[in-house]
Amino acid sequence: MEPHRCPWGNSDNYIQYHDTEWGVPLHDDRLLFEFLVLGGAQAGLSWSTILNKRDNYRQAFDNFDPAIVAKYGLEKRQTLLSNPGIVRNRLKIDAAIQNAQVFLATVHEFGTFDQYAWGFVGHQPIQNKWRTMQEVPARTEKSDAMSADLIRNTSVGTSVTVCGQWRRHQPNTCTASSTGISAW
């Protein structure tokens, strides 16, 4: 029997992402950084565009190791700008590098980025009762607070929409799911 999926899960990449990652609570700092970078890259584009380039991003951005990305210099920036496998936008690439630096500073302050991010929801998933995707907000008070805090710490490209998009990779926002757990 075919699993029940959200209506947007209609391509191989989307189905894989929906069934294994969408709304799954995430506590791995490397993956949290990956979703922050990918969310920033997605701004103004479709998520499917980014999913189709995800493997290229992993290779181009050293498997999203924030310690490596934070040290990228001019030569690496130029290499990224000439890489057809990623979104070649100078502002998005520069934001990923600066955000790696902010990410590391946050880890230094909180021990892990996981501790920082989940602190906005008391380290527990929030239970919502959304029945349709139209009910799932692009942003919430908590994603607004996280965005404001990241921006205050000089993070770039972490708008409330990016934080709202990123937080959906946390507790389950799938309206097809029987868990009842939803994003913050």
The string of pLDDT tens digits covering residues 23-34 is 788 899 999 999
| pLDDT reading at 101 higher than 90 | yes
Is the pLDDT score of 130 beyond 60?
yes
d(CA 6, CA 11): 12
The CATH H-level (homologous superfamily) assignment of domain 25-182 is Hypothetical protein; domain 2 (1.10.340.30)
Sorted by where each begins, the domain ranges of the chain are 25-182
Secondary structure of residue 13 in the 3-state scheme: helix
Instruction: Measure Cα distances from 121 to 20, 76, 91, 145 in Å.
Output: 23, 36, 30, 11
Tokens for 133, please give them: 């995707």
* Count of alpha carbons within 13 angstroms of residue 19, beta-carbon side: 10
pLDDT of residue 145: 82
Quickly list H helices, 43-140: 47-60, 66-69, 74-81, 90-110, 113-119
Calculate mean pLDDT across residues 106-111. Answer: 94
Report pLDDT digits (tens) over 138-163: 777 887 788 778 777 655 554 444 55
* pLDDT bracket for residue 170 (50, 70, 90): very low
